[in-house]
Amino acid sequence: MLILALGFIWFLNHAQKKITQGKLNEQELSMFYQKEMLLNTVKTKENERTRIAKELHDDVSSQLGIINLNLYALSKRIPQDEEITKLIDQITTSLKSSTERTRSISHELMPIMFRKYGLHEAFKELQAQINLPDMLKFTIENDFLIKITDDFKLLHIYRIVQELTNNTLKYAKASIIKINFEENNKDLSMTYIDNGVGIDFEKIKYGLGLSNVKTRVSLLDGNITIKSSKNKGFKVKINFPNYD
């Protein structure tokens, strides 16, 4: 009876372990497929961004340039008077504004510097665009520590920085943005700080921007910590593997 009882207990424990392991395997498989679906979704979006950016840069900008040249040629052929000159000037100004906006949107969708020269040059361009004398100081330090070579992972890092800076520019009223990279064994730590008005998480839920940041961090197999409070600035710390 004792042997039967012990055997029965062993059988129950063994069965329970198999059931538990099966559930863990199912959860791991489910998480794997969820991550694969998320990765494919992000890749599809990035490919579409690249396509639209190329269309804007190569086609729309080119057509606006041709229209501008034709307008200039037309202005030399028609009789000039005050009303016509004023109208041509208005059209020229609108064309110039549309061309600059088209180029700006194209660069936001897929920065030319990133596509041609990589992450570090794209960071330099981003700093040059955001820095405003006597208004906003933006620095990125130690980005040379990034050892990742996979372009898609590097694009995640760029998009994270882009999203965080856009969030600061829109809402924070900050005068300083500082990003610093540090090595930690095989991992890399990225710290983002601004001295703006901060976020009161009790009143404001995560917006689309921060949700996108968290999604890209997960695709880098990293983790993220956000600290902020009203009128006390904004700090983000992200850790992720520093290899492909």
Residue 172 pLDDT > 70: yes
- Of 51-55, 93-97, 108-112, 235-239, the range with the highest mean pLDDT is 235-239
Residue 205 pLDDT > 60: no
- % of the chain at pLDDT higher than 70: 86
What is the predicted pLDDT for the residue at 191? 97
- % of the chain at pLDDT higher than 90: 34
What is the predicted pLDDT for the residue at 138? 95
Distance separating alpha carbons of residues 115 and 119, to the nearest angstrom: 8
Structure tokens at 23: 């559930």
Distance of CA 243 to the CA centre of its chain: 19
Residue 225 is classified by DSSP as: E
Structure tokens at 202: 């009790």
Query: What's the mean pLDDT when you consider all of the chain?
Result: 84
What is the predicted pLDDT for the residue at 183? 94
What is the predicted pLDDT for the residue at 201? 65
Structure tokens at 40: 């494919």
Q: What is the H or E stretch that residue 182 is in?
A: strand 176-184
Structure tokens at 89: 């000037």
Domain range annotation of the chain: 2-109, 117-241
Task: Choose between 229 and 26: higher pLDDT.
Answer: 229
The string of pLDDT tens digits covering residues 61-117 is 778 888 888 888 888 888 778 888 888 889 888 988 888 888 788 777 878 888 889
The string of pLDDT tens digits covering residues 116-155 is 899 999 999 999 989 988 889 999 999 999 999 999 999 9
Kindly provide the b/e burial profile for residues 223-235, where b requires at least 16 CB atoms within 10 angstroms of the residue's own CB.
ebebebeeeebbe
> If pLDDT is split at 50, 70 and 90, which confidence band does 206 have?
low
Distance separating alpha carbons of residues 184 and 166, to the nearest angstrom: 27
- Find the mean pLDDT for residues 218-244: 91
Residue 178 pLDDT > 60: yes
For 204, phi then psi, to 5°, come to -120, 125
Residue 26 pLDDT > 80: no
Fold that domain 117-241 belongs to in CATH: Heat Shock Protein 90 (3.30.565)
What is the predicted pLDDT for the residue at 17? 75
The string of pLDDT tens digits covering residues 146-165 is 999 999 999 999 999 999 99
Residue 28 pLDDT > 70: no
Query: How many angstroms separate the most distant Cα atoms in the chain?
Result: 115
pTM, full prediction = 0.73
What is the predicted pLDDT for the residue at 228? 87
Structure tokens at 42: 């992000």
Q: How far is CA 58 from CA 22, 179, 223, in A?
A: 53, 33, 38
Distance of CA 25 to the CA centre of its chain: 32
